[in-house]
């Protein structure tokens, strides 16, 4: 078999492997997005239970509960939207890079393949950082809600507000908290 045919077969194998890897990652990410929706529904159930408990035990009106929770819910919704957008953009960019890599391999432009590989590695690293940060935020929110729910019989409205304020400070950071409430 001529060397050119061997290179073409090798190139086709590499590209096919890369394409199947991208599709596998895409499937895993789509399943992850579905899990994210399920997780959000679970948190909404915990919040609803907490809302009712604080209304009956802590004399916190639903309207006041909603006001206290507004920044957290807005933050959470915004971050979820950001992550979904990031993931979809990541998949699109990954597919574009795979196409470029395929063309570069077939044309024998191995320097470009190396450049594309570095770009892809950087893209994966950035996506991973964002996803890990998002997961950390969601764990913190869930832990706080579960802790508050565990105390709902003995939790005062003041303690509830303080815990939510502490959570906001952790999530938004002290420097961003005033911007989130519209202060100068």
| 124-140 burial: b if 16+ Cβ within 10 Å, else e | eeebeebbeebeebbee
CATH code, domain with 159: 1.20.120
36-48 pLDDT tens trace: 777 778 778 877 8
In the chain, the number of structural domains is 1
Q: Average pLDDT for residues 137-152, to the nearest whole number?
A: 83
pLDDT band for position 63 (cuts 50, 70, 90): confident
pLDDT beyond 60 at 135: yes
Q: Give the range of the structural domain holding residue 95, as residue numbers without chain letter.
A: 3-180
pTM of this prediction exceeds 0.85: no
User: What is the number of alpha carbons within 13 Å of residue 7 lying toward its C-beta?
Assistant: 11
**In the chain, pLDDT over 90 holds for what percent of residues?**
1
101-128 pLDDT tens trace: 878 877 777 788 778 878 888 888 888 8
């Amino acid at each position: 078999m001529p060397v050119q045919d061997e290179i073409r077969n090798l190139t086709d194998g590499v590209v096919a492997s890369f394409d199947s890897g991208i599709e596998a990652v895409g499937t895993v990410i789509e399943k992850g997005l579905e899990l994210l929706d399920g997780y959000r529904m679970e948190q909404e159930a915990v919040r609803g239970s907490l809302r009712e408990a604080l209304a009956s035990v802590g004399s916190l009106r639903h309207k006041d509960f909603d006001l206290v929770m507004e920044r957290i819910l807005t933050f959470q919704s915004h971050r979820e939207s950001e992550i979904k957008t990031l993931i979809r953009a990541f998949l699109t960019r990954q597919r574009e890079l795979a196409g470029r890599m395929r063309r570069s391999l077939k044309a024998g432009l191995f320097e470009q393949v190396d450049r594309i590989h570095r770009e892809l590695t950087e893209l994966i690293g950035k996506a991973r950082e964002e996803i890990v940060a998002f997961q950390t935020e969601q764990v913190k929110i869930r832990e706080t809600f579960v802790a508050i729910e565990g105390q709902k019989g003995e939790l005062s409205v003041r303690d509830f507000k303080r815990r939510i304020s502490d959570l906001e400070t952790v999530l938004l950071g002290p420097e961003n908290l005033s911007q989130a409430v519209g202060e100068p």
